[in-house]
Amino acid sequence: MTTEPHLFVIFGATGDLNRRKLLPALYEITQQENAPDFAILGTSRSKLSDKDFDKLVRESLVEFAGVSKKDADHWLEGKLHYQSLTQENDPYEELVKRVHALEKEHKLKGNTVYYLSLPPQVFPKVIEGLGKSGANDGDGWTRLVVEKPFGQDLASAKTLNDLVHSHFKEDQVYRIDHYLGKETVQNMLAFRFANSLFEPLWNRDRIDRVEITVAESLGVEERAGYYDKSGALRDMIQNHLTQLLTVIGMDVPAGFNANAIRAEKLKVLKAIRPLQDEDIIYAQYAEGETNGKKVKGYLKEDGVDTKSKTPTYVAARLHIDNWRWQGVPFYLRTGKRLESKLTEIAIVFHCAPISLFEGGADGDPATGNGVPQDVLRINVAPEQGVEMLFNIKKPGQGMILQRQRLAFDYDEVFGKLPDAYTALLFDVMEGDRTLFVGADEVEASWEIYDPVLNREHEMHTYPSGSWGPTKAREFIEDWETGGE
């Protein structure tokens, strides 16, 4: 694919996401060979001049991208523009007029990206404004990028999809999930389908269970107002972790393209068994200690209702009822104020049918038939890489086993990896929708969790700085012992 010259329009240009993530990612894109030619138009309700916006961009690059002041001063010189949405006339008509003027000024052939770096409650108003003003029908291509969360439940997701489709075609829409832009997640496709060693093992005959964990060491911080209306199930499980599940669980696609890959991911979502009450655990963090510092519990956080039932931790057990995965549980876990920041996928293999060894491996607990299970671990963050845990004989007399690892680390081989947003924004510019979530995927994912969103449930607690509630660990322990 080739990247055509275009105008990159950012809604919410003065916001945190743009300053911390989007601008550094766009800068990184311009440092690559054959960098695309684009100009930026920032927009928000703030009344700024082009000069003010230029200053904000330069300061953001220095603070969040580590760019020198000299390089920041010359980045996209003459191609940074700003348009306020507070005009007395229709702000979207005024915006489109400015877009057309800049396209002529920079000879951009009518190609435009509209990026909604906005709170989700504003999405409908902006999408409708763009559609009615004709922003969706330029002389070239038009692409709409929407951040998660896409809806708060199944009904709102369908309503938002209907609104989007009333103004934009589905192939114009890029629903972004930054986890899919991480190199390790993208590498799962190559890891599985380019190596004949692994794909034959990727099924119920060889795999005992799959564990997907996204742990955060921080609390709700300044997001308490938003988070208390959302919670871990909506904020993380329904989108990020479920998307990781589809990449792990999908069958071989007919080709390496967006439509073929999405079709296989959708089959996984449609095959997931309805959740039962015993398949999901909710918890909130209590006071505890993080990084040697005492912290307060969730119900004591500023902006949180003292009677809140919003979970800061969720563990869910999902089953994919298809030929490949029948009987293999997928455990999805995420929480705030946990021991450390971590995102990993663990593929746990069956024990050997008969063990010749007793007592397990040195330093590791015995499970199943007495020998620790082999584990393939995909590290997504903060380190990115792949490691295999397996058993060997420890040197010396007697047959004593020891756990060892084979490991590949991205940083050691390739150096510092680009941020996920860099890859995703470049794909938007190229028109590659492979790593973006389709409308049918969004609705299929909400269909899984929608029935449990408003059910009465027991709320467990866990100390801040721990790995979560004891009840969640019992999930897996019960599976390992066969329910004994």
Give the model confidence (pLDDT) of 182-224 as tens digits. Answer: 888 888 888 889 999 988 999 999 999 999 999 999 998 877 8
**Domain of 92, in residue numbers:** 6-147
Q: What is the pLDDT of residue 87?
A: 64
pLDDT score of 411 more than 90: no
pLDDT band at 88 (very low <50, low <70, confident <90, very high): low
Q: In DSSP terms, which residues pair with 294 in a beta bridge?
A: 289
Q: Which of 171, 130, 75, 114 has its CA nearest to residue 432? A: 171
The lowest-confidence range among 148-157, 209-218, 433-442, 468-477 is 468-477
pTM of the full structure: 0.90
Task: Choose one of 123, 147, 171: the last residue of a domain.
Answer: 147
Do 184 and 117 share a structural domain? Answer: no
- Same structural domain, 318 and 449: yes
The pLDDT assigned to 226 comes to 81
Check whether residue 274 and residue 394 sit in a common domain. Answer: yes
Residues 6+ apart with CB under 8 A from 73: 58
Examine the domain organization and report whether 238 and 358 are in the same domain: yes
- Give catalytic residues, as residue numbers: 240
Q: pLDDT confidence of 368, banded at 50, 70, 90?
A: very low
**Both structure tokens of 334:** 């995420």
The answer to whether residues 248 and 111 belong to one domain is no
What's the chain's average pLDDT? 89
Per 3-state DSSP, the chain is made up of helix, strand and coil in percentages (nearest 5) of 40, 25, 40
Q: Is residue 40 part of a domain?
A: yes
Q: Residues 109-126: pLDDT tens digits?
A: 889 999 999 988 899 999
What is the pLDDT, as a whole number, of residue 364?
A: 54
For residue 299, name the pLDDT band (cuts at 50, 70, 90): very high
Whole-number percent of the chain with pLDDT over 90: 64
Specify if 422 maps to a domain: no
* Domains contained in the chain, number: 2
Residue of higher predicted confidence among 454 and 60: 60
| Most confident range, picked from 113-117, 225-229, 292-296, 433-437 | 113-117
pLDDT at 41 over 90: yes
Distance (Å, whole) CA 285 – CA 363: 30
The whole-number pLDDT of residue 456 equals: 85
On whether residue 167 sits in a domain, the answer given is: no
pLDDT at residue number 366: 47
Size of the chain in residues = 484
Q: What is the per-residue pLDDT for 265? A: 95
Same structural domain for residues 219 and 329? yes
- CATH number, residue 359: 3.30.360.10
- pLDDT, position 168: 95
**Confidence (pLDDT) at 361:** 52
Nearest to 120 by CA among 153, 166, 82, 85: 153
**Domain boundary pick from 129, 147, 165:** 147
Residue 247: what pLDDT?
Answer: 94
Residues 126 and 185 in one domain: no
Q: Residue 1 — pLDDT band, cuts 50, 70, 90?
A: low
**Statement to judge: residues 143 and 188 lie in one domain:** no
> How does pLDDT run across 315-349, given as a tens digit for each residue?
999 999 999 999 999 999 999 999 999 999 999 99
Taking 60 as the threshold, does the pLDDT of residue 80 lie above it?
yes
Select the more confidently predicted residue: 483 or 116.
116
Over residues 266-271, the mean pLDDT reads 97
Judgement on whether residues 45 and 120 belong to the same structural domain of the protein: yes
Report the Cα 230 to chain-centroid distance in Å. Answer: 16
Tell me the per-residue pLDDT of 153-192, one tens digit each, with 9 for 90 and over.
999 999 999 999 999 999 999 999 888 888 888 888 888 8
* Whether residues 325 and 474 fall in one domain: yes
Same domain, 191 and 330: yes
Question: Does some domain include residue 168?
Answer: no
Answer whether residue 157 is part of any domain: no
Residue 446 lies in a domain: yes
Q: Return the top range by mean pLDDT from 355-364, 369-378, 428-437.
A: 428-437
Percentage of the residues of the chain whose pLDDT score is greater than 70: 94
The CATH number that applies at residue 89 is 3.40.50.720
Residue 430 lies in a domain: no
Predicted confidence (pLDDT) at residue 483 exceeds the cutoff of 80? no
Pair 270, 402 in one domain: yes
Tell me if 154 is assigned to some domain.
no
Q: What is the pLDDT of residue 484?
A: 39
Q: Which residues of 178-206 are buried (b: 16+ CB within 10 A; e: fewer)?
A: bbbbbebbbbbbebbeeeeeeeeebeeee
Whole-angstrom Cα distance, residue 209 to residue 346?
Answer: 8
